[in-house]
Amino acid sequence: MLFNSLDFAIFLPIVFVLYWLLNSNLRVQNSFLILTGFVFYGWWDWRFLGLLIFTSGTDYLVAIGLERATSEARRKALLGVSLVANLGLLGYFKYYDFFITSFHEAFTFMGLPFGLRALGLVLPVGISFYTFQSLSYTIDVYRRQLKATSDPITFFAFVSFFPQMLAGPIERARNMIPQFLKPRVFDTAMARDGLRQMLWGLFKKIVVADNCSQIVNMLYADPSAHSGSTMALATVLFAFQIYGDFSGYSDIAIGAARLFGFELMRNFAFPYFSRDIAEFWRRWHISLSTWFRDYLYIPLGGSRGNKAFVVRNTMIIFLVSGFWHGANWTFVAWGAINGLFFLPLVLQDKHRSMLGTVAEGRALPSVRELLMMLLTFAMACFAWIFFRAQSMGEAFEVIGQILSRSLFSMPELPIPRTLAYGLLGIAITLVFEWINRERQYGLQMDGRSVRPVRYALYYGIIAVIILCAPLGGGEFIYFQF
């Protein structure tokens, strides 16, 4: 079920009303959330509900075993069960065909027969997200940073919580399970703020991402047929497409969770206002980058040790992050490029030099800050070429076009109305998010805002969404990951 669909527009109010009618009994209310999560997930393909139930059931039982076990060998064995179950499912559905195809091509190139063939597996929606979320729970219990819950309803509700199940944020049990264990009282201010954030997320998805995607898809379908300036424009539009798409999903998820009394972690913190690539990665897909930091980078040794050790750990994190996004060498290249951009900052101990908000306390950035933001954005766009391309050959084809003399020609302006709507959406997004860059999201307001002004903004945003919505708005990009 898509957040930008009529199905969800009907589903959400019904669930909201029934949920708060059940607030006299916490166990029944949590059970209802499990049911709604299963309906939400099964709306796409009910057959994959078995995977969600298997993941949840396995980690629930493993965590209880970890809580009771006294032998370290037994605890490690139980953790191994969780790792194999979660990563095994993820690897089979997401990477089996990729590795088989890669081996087949390599052996064929060497003139050797290779018997196995790809199975054409369908990737279950959200599997990369809910397996990581569930796996973090068993790791925390193994580390004794969290006590295992003995209530299966609480744990299943945590894994199957519908607002963030399909594309994050990838929540931590330490944040969410306590919220499922305490009674929740409807908070009008929290619900209003949630609706505002949902509206902002829908704006970024429909006006920015969906309009930009139509231009990007057309131009990237045949890069060699377009000038360098046109492909540069397409790449910039893709940068805003993926931001509007993914941060838009996160805003809708966080806002929807607030309607039900839950606070999810922030997933985006205005990353295109970053002054270096390290700051960009602290602000982009925060739930995934912190997951890799906590469960891979630090266990590998983090920044402790000599420079070679730090280089190794940094590149492992970025390569794994790239591979997490998809079974294609383009994603691995995307991760490697970001790692190479990141390394100079780490080696000079400058990767935490930009911790504050850009132009804090000022209306506009300095010239130096502006140039730093533009350079960081250009670096991110270069890496996005590999993320968007269908193959390494296509990525190099796009780069070749951009670096040709045609870069200095006037770009083509395909589908003028759609392009205008997309550029309008980008402009509005940048203005609102710059003004609110010290807050949680672009449309956030406090009680001091004049009520008529607030409502004029809301209705204005709704009008822009209705007027600029393209035909055939699609799924969220991260559903494929």
Q: What is the pLDDT of residue 476?
A: 77
Q: What is the pLDDT of residue 116?
A: 61
325 is catalytic: yes
* Residue 112 CB neighbour total at 10 angstroms: 8
Encode pLDDT of 244-280 as tens digits. 999 999 999 999 999 999 999 999 999 999 999 999 9
Give the pLDDT mean for 273-296: 95
Higher pLDDT, 116 or 333: 333
Quick one: pLDDT band at residue 123, thresholds 50, 70, 90? Answer: confident
* DSSP string over 55-77: HHHHHHHHHHHHHH---HHHHHH
Q: What is the pLDDT of residue 178?
A: 94
DSSP 8-state code for residue 405: G
Q: What is the pLDDT of residue 392?
A: 94
d(CA 21, CA 26): 11
Q: What is the pLDDT of residue 202?
A: 95
Encode pLDDT of 62-98 as tens digits. 999 999 998 999 999 999 999 999 999 888 888 776 6
Asked if residues 262 and 37 have their Cβ atoms less than 8 Å apart, the reply is no
DSSP 8-state code for residue 149: P
Asked if residues 141 and 18 have their Cβ atoms less than 8 Å apart, the reply is no
The amino acid occupying position 28 is: V
Q: What is the pLDDT of residue 2?
A: 81
Give me 327's structure tokens.
């079974």
d(CA 402, CA 232): 6
Q: What is the pLDDT of residue 302?
A: 79
Q: What is the pTM of this model?
A: 0.92
Helix ranges (H only) for 110-222 are 127-142, 152-159, 173-181, 188-203, 210-220
Quick one: pLDDT band at residue 113, thresholds 50, 70, 90? Answer: low
Encode pLDDT of 365-395 as tens digits. 999 999 999 999 999 999 999 999 999 999 9
Give the pLDDT mean for 38-56: 89
Q: Which residues contact 378 (CB under 8 A, 6 or more apart)?
A: none
Give me 378's structure tokens.
């250009």
Give the pLDDT mean for 123-138: 89
Whose CA is closest to 359, among 429, 268, 433? 433
Give the pLDDT mean for 449-463: 87
Encode pLDDT of 345-358 as tens digits. 988 888 888 889 99
Which of 104, 226, 285, 325 is catalytic? The answer is 325
Query: Is the pLDDT at 452 greater than 60, yes or no?
Result: yes
Tokens 């068993």, located at residue: 138
CA 474 to each of CA 423, 477, 478, 479: distance values in angstroms, whole numbers, following the listed order: 19, 9, 12, 11
Give me 423's structure tokens.
């550029």
d(CA 481, CA 465): 27
Encode pLDDT of 164-184 as tens digits. 988 879 999 999 999 999 999
